Amino acid sequence: MSSSIPAWKDKILFTPGPLTTSPTVKQAMLRDLGSRDYAFIGIVRDVRARLLDLAQASKGEYECVIMQGSGTFSVESVISSSIPAEGKLLILVNGAYGRRIHSIAKVHNIAADVLDFGEDTLVDPATVSAALTKDPAITHVAIVHCETTTGIINDINAIGQVVTAAGRRYIVDSMSAFGGVEVNVPAGNIDFIVSSSNKCVEGVPGFAFVIAKKAALDECRGRARTLVLDLYAQWEGLEKDGQFRFTPPTHSLLAFHQALLELEAEGGIKARAARYRANHDLMISGMRALGFRPFLPDSLQGNIITSFYYPQDPKFDFSVFYGKLNDRGYVIYPGKVSTAECFRIGHIGRMDTNDAQDLLAAIRDVVAEMGFQP
């Protein structure tokens, strides 16, 4: 860490999560609550209700299930709990997180097909519709909302219409988008949508959550392939007495509750999405002015995260670039695009355009110091 950064000051995380959180979110964790105590049960109840509100879903028609672990645990929970032994999953892929859903299906011996659109292309409703017509064995369809690999945002409502019209169940991994992109889960015909505590709600890691259509959740009864990731049993436990079946991350839930209050105070998802959009717009135009090139065309680029091509100049070395920015107090993110060398800059978390300006100034500095042409 450079001597100009006070030891107590965390670096700003321009990452897709864990991300920079507010001091008050961190402070909310300075309590010890019993996991079976009334106070904690009340907080869990409020968190679940608020998450349904964010999804624009009503209790009874939809249910909120919180699951310990990172986001992938909840994606695996949905995949391994919802698809029957004789079922088949169609995975709509345009990045690494779609491919991960396929890996989950393979581990559980779930029949699965992949429709791969390429990492720089939106999932296309007509192609999905044709695939569903062609293969009546498909029972469930999964898609990633914001493919964090690139930052592309799929039109989950358009795909939802096609999937529902074909009578299949619809699973959305909205890990990096939920809370930062407006989504009406019932209007999108979504049966299961998944996100986690350390993304756009701006909490800390520890758990993920599923908003599930009650009718689809009911079908999960007895279908689980694991004990801990049994989505239906987890919901049943939470409904019975408000408690988790197994030890919950109490501190992380306290932080998340505070983060939800702060999301409301900011003006809800609409206001948060606008803040992220402003961060994004400033960063893209600033990076372009420096000579960096985004991987995606503007028309496909969402407000969550942006992938930039590595500069061609041999004087560019990502680990040196990363380290020098890190020394100045800014954490950027390595790339995940499979066909091109890229790095990523996230626009989410407790930061605004002042922070984006500061990062741009630091990048300008580092480019000059390293002497490469972006």
Ligand X SMILES: Cc1ncc(COP(=O)(O)O)c(C=O)c1O
Give the shortest CB-42-to-ligand X separation in angstroms. Answer: 26
Which residue, 98 or 311, has its beta carbon nearer to ligand X? 98
Please tell me the distance from the alpha carbon of residue 190 to that of residue 216, in angstroms, as a whole number. Answer: 10
Q: If binding is defined by CB under 6 A, does position 16 make contact with ligand X?
A: yes
Tell which positions 78-137 bind ligand X, by CB under 6 A: 97
Q: Enumerate the H helices of 201-338 as residue ranges.
A: 214-219, 231-241, 250-266, 268-290, 318-327
Place of tokens 């009546």: 136
Give the shortest CB-26-to-ligand X separation in angstroms. Answer: 19
Give the shortest CB-202-to-ligand X separation in angstroms. Answer: 14
Please tell me the distance from the alpha carbon of residue 91 to that of residue 271, in angstroms, as a whole number. Answer: 32
Q: Enumerate the H helices of the chain as residue ranges.
A: 23-27, 38-54, 71-82, 96-107, 125-134, 156-165, 214-219, 231-241, 250-266, 268-290, 318-327, 353-370
Which residue, 93 or 366, has its beta carbon nearer to ligand X? 93
Please tell me the distance from the alpha carbon of residue 45 to that of residue 63, in angstroms, as a whole number. Answer: 12
Which residue, 244 or 333, has its beta carbon nearer to ligand X? 333
Q: If binding is defined by CB under 6 A, does position 176 make contact with ligand X?
A: yes
Q: If binding is defined by CB under 6 A, does position 210 make contact with ligand X?
A: no
Give the shortest CB-71-to-ligand X separation in angstroms. Answer: 3
Nearest to residue 144, comparing CAs of 173, 170, 116?
A: 173
Please tell me the distance from the alpha carbon of residue 309 to that of residue 292, in angstroms, as a whole number. Answer: 7
Residue with CB nearest ligand X? 71
List, in order, residues 6 or more apart from 220 with CB less than 8 Å away. 81, 82, 212, 230, 231, 232
Which residue, 97 or 232, has its beta carbon nearer to ligand X? 97
Q: If binding is defined by CB under 6 A, does position 306 make contact with ligand X?
A: no
List, in order, residues 6 or more apart from 146 with CB less than 8 Å away. 152, 153, 154, 174, 175, 176, 177, 181, 302, 304, 305
Q: If binding is defined by CB under 6 A, does position 21 make contact with ligand X?
A: no
Q: If binding is defined by CB under 6 A, does position 307 make contact with ligand X?
A: no
What DSSP state is assigned to residue 186? T
Size of the site for ligand X (CB under 6 A): 13
Q: If binding is defined by CB under 6 A, does position 144 make contact with ligand X?
A: yes
Task: Tally the C-alpha atoms within 13 A of residue 215's C-alpha that lie toward its C-beta.
Answer: 8
Out of 71, 160, 206, 346, the only residue in the binding site for ligand X (CB under 6 A) is: 71
Q: If binding is defined by CB under 6 A, does position 173 make contact with ligand X?
A: yes
Out of 21, 68, 94, 148, the only residue in the binding site for ligand X (CB under 6 A) is: 148
Out of 21, 70, 81, 94, the only residue in the binding site for ligand X (CB under 6 A) is: 70
Which residue, 195 or 250, has its beta carbon nearer to ligand X? 195
User: What residues line the site for ligand X (CB under 6 A)?
Assistant: 16-17, 70-72, 75, 97, 144, 148, 173, 175-176, 196
